Structure 1
Amino acid sequence: MFTRIFGKPKQETNALATLDKLNETLEMLEKKEKVLLKKAATEVERAKEFTRAKNKRAAIQCLKRKRLYEQQIEQLGNFQLRIHDQMIMLEGAKATTETVDALRTGAAAMKAMQKATNIDDVDKTMDEINEQTENMKQIQEALSTPIGAAADFDEDELEAELEELEGAELEEQLLQPATTAPAAPVRVPAGRQPAKKVEDDDDELAELQREMAL
């Protein structure tokens, strides 16, 4: 937020400007390297042509120029390596600086918060909370205390009366007669039939004999 209002810090601005300059230089060296590579390849082709034409001296001159181009290419490669190394170191230093700035800002914020929150204020607040809690506890106890006629009841007398009721209930249960069990059904042996059943059988037999006689 502060960066947007007041702009970037001077150190960060210088680091970014340096990185931009290094990038521009690196691009310039790469372009030169491509040109030299093309020139070296051209000299190789010309040396081949002079060789086919039996012009040995001209072919050797082409190869010499090719060697010079290759030396420049190698030098440009070293320059590029140095620039890459410088860029890496600068980016690392930039990250370190940003980290330190962030830590410094955080420490300042914590210090400001500690000043705003005094230990005496914290103790005072805790004392007020404890006092309010104790007052609320006393209010709840006062509301739960019985008043009026209920306050005159003797708890011991109520306990004794309850024990008498329990003893009377137990005595009444012991004096009640035992419940008679229902009579078991009479089972007739398999070999014997009731009297009524025998009479019915005799009547049927007599009726059958009369029908046969007819």
Structure 2
Amino acid sequence: MFSRIFGKPKQETNALGTLDKLNETLEMLEKKEKVLIKKAAAEVEKAKEFTRAKNKRAAIQCLKRKRLYEQQVEQLGNFQLRIHDQMIMLEGAKATTETVDALRTGASAMKAMQKATNIDDVDTTMDEINEQTENMKQIQEALSAPIGAAADFDEDELEAELEELEGAELEEQLLQPATTAPAAPVQAPAGPQRNRPTPKRTAEEDELAALQAEMAL
């Protein structure tokens, strides 16, 4: 009976359609994020290849592209967080709207039965609507805030990252088994032999060992 009098509310249909749209957008952002992560990993592999070829300039360019992909991944993560926030607020608003509609229907039924208007119920409903409208306005203002451009790259950080890649490549070369044929055994001369002193590690070897420990972390 009340549907014929007041008509069917469209808020529920609109809210469901909006939630579906937000879910589709969220899935799209997640797919883009996975693609960018793969691209960043590919740039690291390219940088390693250029490092082996002693092409430092090309390796640096690969690391710059990797940083750009990482910044885009971070940006997409912020977008997803905002969408999740809006979905939560929209679901809460939908529940509030349904509650207000139920209260409004009850008040209308009482009005039809008692033929009287209860101004307190109207004030309460309007206060709730104004509160939800203000909340929605704050969410829209937060979503419309501009996002800053990517920051300039620090060349020192790129140089340090390239040195880490070079250290990793050197470590791989040191760990490869020797392919040369074993040398013929040399017979030691008879008689007492002196113990040879153990050679001391050079500064380069100490630096390489520290770099290998850092890469292992």
Which one scores higher on RCO, CA 8 angstroms, separation ≥ 6? Answer: 2
TM bucket, shorter chain = 0.3 to 0.5
TM-score, normalising length from structure 1? 0.47
Higher helix share goes to which structure?
1
Tell which structure's C-alpha radius of gyration is larger: 1
TM-score, normalising length from structure 2? 0.47
